[in-house]
Structure 1
Amino acid sequence: MGVDPGFVRKIFAGLEHGDGAGFFAHVADDVDWTVMGTHPLAGHYLSKADFIAGTFAKLGKVLPNGAQLHVDSLIVQDDVAIVELHSEAIAKNGFRFDNHYCWVCYFRNDTIVRVRAYLDSVMVARLFAENPI
């Protein structure tokens, strides 16, 4: 049957409105999340806690108002959602962190169990080079 596109849009709306907890309530504790690339956020995270610590917590140290993610498009087929997002954040030093993302999300029983996330690695590297943590 697959995941409902309206449900996917609803859980991503949490991220759009700064409600990370609302979004992460729909992510499995043992999620398999890979952030592709060679930058300070890249890695293979095998739990929700490790993913948050390795990405969102780091971003929170350099982006005073968070990543400010917005959904651009959504494609859902069966239990997979491809979500294109962008951020409109400003770093502590004033650097505009207007990154673009593509998250390929795999669902099981309306819970995200695996993600492959793609983004502008050079922009992430510059963000942390100019705003060391």
Structure 2
Amino acid sequence: MNTAGKAFLAAGVVTVAAVARRRRRTPAVQQADRWLVVTVNRSPDDVQSSLPDDLARWRDQIEISIRPATGDKGTELRAKPAGEVSHDDVRLALRKAKAVLEAGEVIQPDTAPTHPGPMGKVLQRVTSRAGGGGRL
């Protein structure tokens, strides 16, 4: 194995170790108690009167808080699971609610122009899971 191959292998090992260490730091139980927050570019009255269906259907299973965002920059829409609904479902509903409130619809990204080779399959798998994690 040449030097470049060893460097790529070492970088991969370091990345896997960092991801594993980070996942251990945030247990799922602790995550379920956290508020999920998005800032919507609309007034609090507009958000309160037109809460999207994605959040409204779980109103009895989640805690919802609507308040002005810091510095008059829109509205802070907060949600936290309180019933049987999962943390990931609430997160996805918040993302969709933000899109509906700001753009009127949930805009889907274009499909990636990839071929069915190994890297194309990796890219398809990553983009199909992208809606579930990461930043709000």
State the TM bucket, normalised to the shorter chain. under 0.3
Higher relative strand content: 1
Q: Which has the higher helix share?
A: 2
| TM-score, normalising length: structure 1 | 0.25
